Amino acid sequence: MCNTYFGVNAQYEHPLNEFKSVQNTRIVLDFYDTDPRRGFYGGGGIDGRFGKYPITFALGGLPPGSPAWGEGFARDLAEQYSRTMFFGAHGTSLPLETNSVALDPSLKDAWGLPCMRVTYTDHPDDLKCGEFLTSQALQIAQASGALKTWPEPIRPQTMAVHLLRTCRMGNDPRTSVVDRYHRTHDVRNLFICDGSSMVTSGRGQPTETSRRSRSERAN
């Protein structure tokens, strides 16, 4: 599993300097829980954060239709970098049996070892959740006085930084890696205390969430 992460870009009249100091600012948790009336499982939080440093901003931080080269491109980057922020919609990712991490049967690295093969497809509800959270983020951006707003497209993810699962939890060592206490079946004193055995993505930073849940169970 991963965490879905879409969002809305917004440009303002005056500089915000969002690239300075702390960026991680979760501002809305109203939609964190599942609401069956939405028609899909899951929820998430909306972050008020810049999220794009100079190079990534140059590669995709300007509005659609902006110059992509030359004097106009350089001018827009200089004018808009400090006036732009990103409202990130961080949502649920559901487990699918077809998603997996395995060794590639034919592709080798420079040392002749099998390369890692990652097979991943978003659950349909994940994309519906992303659409919903992005629509809410768009309303927030517009209400905050942004001169221009444009959402990122909602489409199947091809990259991620919050990787979860792969160490299935269960009672049977033949079909799972850890038991209900996150202890591995094969090595009795080894506990896997990150997002590897979580059954859903938790709508947040996975390792810290896993540690809290394990501590609460122990208490």
Contact 8, 151 (CB under 8 A): yes
Catalytic residue among 14, 162, 182, 185: 162
- In the chain, how long is the greatest CA-to-CA distance? 63
**Domain check: are 112 and 178 in the same one?**
no
Annotation says 162 is catalytic:
yes
Rounded Cα–Cα distance for residues 184 and 26 (Å)? 34
Model pTM greater than 0.85?
A: no
24 three-class SS = coil
What type of residue sits at position 149? T
Domain stop point among 136, 156, 176: 156
Residue at token pair 């300075």: 20
Q: What is the pLDDT of residues 63-104, one digit of tens each?
A: 999 999 999 999 999 999 989 988 999 888 888 888 888 899
**Domain check: are 49 and 142 in the same one?**
yes
CB atoms < 10 A from the CB of 69, how many? 7
**Domain check: are 207 and 130 in the same one?**
no
**Domain check: are 150 and 171 in the same one?**
no
Q: What is the pLDDT of residues 186-197, one digit of tens each?
A: 998 999 887 788
Q: CB within 8 A of 168, min separation 6: which ones?
A: 175, 176, 177, 178, 197
